[in-house]
Amino acid sequence: MRWFPIFLDLRNRRVVVVGGGGIAERKIDLLLEAKPNLTVIAPSLTARLRARVDAGEITHEPREFQATDLDGARLVLAATDAPLVNRAVAEAAEVRGIPANIVDNAELSTGILPAIVDRSPLIIAIGTEGSAPALARYVRARIEALLDESLGALAGFLARWRARIKTAVTDLDTRRRLYDRLIHGEVADLIKRAREPEADEALAALLANTGKEGSTPGVVQIVGAGPGDPGLLTLNALRALQGADVVLHDRLVSPEILRLIRREAEVIEVGKSAGRHSVTQDEIHALLLAHATRGRRVVRLKGGDPFVFGRGGEEAEFLKSHQIAFEIVPGVTAALACGAYAGIPLTHREHSASLRLLTAHSAAAIDAVDWQGLSDQRETLAIYMAVATLERLQRELMARGRSKDTPIAFIENGSRPNQRVVLGTLASAHRVANEHRVQSPALLIVGSVTSLAPQLHWFGSAPR
């Protein structure tokens, strides 16, 4: 980080702008929101700036810049088309220790005016170290669309109550959970509807009950993390990660997604893999119950979708039996994401009329499969956790009518930067997997749709 973000109090402070053209005009419009004593140094002004002078909003010195113009200034901005003038401003500011923004010249600048989302008193500043202002504007537009205008009023409301909340709720963890409820619950909704007196009553009632037994019941969110690419997280999943007190995550959740978890959250790996169970399912249930009964917001984070071979249903049943509130946040399951990222459509008019999802992580899972029903050559099979039992899986499919020439694809680390796609046939599947050392997490797709991978490949290394 070269540029350290900071907010300056410019109210009634001296701010100098050198230049009176269109660029200076736009920067002055922004600066005046902070109510400074603003002086413009320029031989001439635009009509709009002249109108601001006439209205008493800014002061104008109709002449060339002098170094002494910066005496007593808190901030200076140079917006001229004269490089020598801009450099003189930068040098005079450096001598006086004043932050200087030289428009379109990051090397001369010691301060940058960011793109701003204004929900006063909530202010969001976006910067790109001066390298890509268009990108900063794009990000600002996205944030503008996401954040409701009522957040400013909510920020003011919380500021008014801050001292009383701090006095009433001394425990930091309890206080943070209270703020979470305020921001996401009834109080925020009342502020959004401009019903502040009722919001005051609702918050007073919350404070009266905070700390009492059962006053802050916990909740468990069973969240699908998708196959690895953080861009495939749903908005609800991201919100859950950023509001969690504790996160219990599977082994295969990617590091990029784990980095999105709120920094203050407790993060616990409860991953399982074939042949190695670091935490049993009963132990996971016990952890969910223990944290939820303490009033914590718990996220159970699972790779893919929690209801597709993720045992999310079992965990929901357990929570229901113990009267723990829960929510299900679906994720992009591996078959959908891996197929898409490998350029393999799972259904196609010329290749496949249907899709079946299977798991083959153990001998018991293989025994439970209706093999006779898998002989249809026009059905795509997406087989999860197939590597460990691949030899038997291959043998059973061919014995029940699948052609040995059926195209197949292994997709290892689907949607991640190290994704690999290995192609073969049903007869060669076991040999190909060994030759390329295919390892978990890997999805096996069986069907003629896999023959489209070389043509439709778009992500990561080319299929092998």
Q: Measured at the alpha carbon of residue 191, what is the angle toward residues 187 and 192, in degrees to the nearest 5?
A: 115
Predicted structure pTM score:
0.66
Per-residue confidence (pLDDT) for residue 12, from 0 to 100: 96
CA atoms within 13 Å, Cβ hemisphere of 247? 27
Query: What span, in angstroms and rounded, lies between the C-alpha atoms of 185 and 302?
Result: 26
- Delimit the domains of the chain by residue range: 14-113, 150-209, 219-332, 335-456
* Residue 326, strand partner residues: 220
Per-residue confidence (pLDDT) for residue 277, from 0 to 100: 56
Q: Note every long-range contact of 197-204, with CB atoms under 8 Å and residues 24 or more positions apart, other chains counting.
A: 199/157, 203/161
Catalytic residue from among 69, 229, 245, 250 = 250
Per-residue confidence (pLDDT) for residue 172, from 0 to 100: 83
Assess whether 250 carries a catalytic annotation: yes
Catalytic residue from among 118, 189, 192, 272 = 272
**Banded pLDDT at 213 (limits 50, 70, 90):** very low
Average pLDDT for 342-349: 96
CA distances from 114 to 9, 78, 321, 335, 376 (A): 15, 15, 52, 42, 59
Q: Which CATH number fits domain 14-113: 3.20.20.450, 3.90.79.10, 3.40.1550.10, 3.40.50.720?
A: 3.40.50.720
Query: Is 335-456 the same fold as 14-113?
Result: no
Query: What span, in angstroms and rounded, lies between the C-alpha atoms of 113 and 106?
Result: 11
The most confident of the ranges 236-245, 275-284, 402-411 is: 402-411
Question: How crowded is residue 388: how many other Cβ atoms within 10 Å of its Cβ?
Answer: 17
Average pLDDT for 331-354: 95
* CATH architecture type of domain 335-456: 2-Layer Sandwich (3.30)
Per-residue confidence (pLDDT) for residue 216, from 0 to 100: 59
Per-residue confidence (pLDDT) for residue 170, from 0 to 100: 87
* Residue 388, strand partner residues: none
Assess whether 148 carries a catalytic annotation: no
Query: Is the pLDDT confidence value at 114 over 90?
Result: no
**Banded pLDDT at 272 (limits 50, 70, 90):** low
CA distances from 199 to 150, 158, 174, 184, 388 (A): 13, 11, 20, 13, 57
Average pLDDT over all residues of the chain: 90
Query: What fold does the segment set 219-332 form as a domain?
Result: Cobalt-precorrin-4 Transmethylase; domain 1 (3.40.1010)
Per-residue confidence (pLDDT) for residue 133, from 0 to 100: 83
Instruction: Please give the residue that has the higher pLDDT: either 182 or 274.
Output: 182
Containing H/E element for 115?
strand 115-119
Summarised one tens digit per residue, pLDDT across range 168-202 is 888 887 788 788 778 877 788 789 889 999 999 98
Per-residue confidence (pLDDT) for residue 198, from 0 to 100: 92
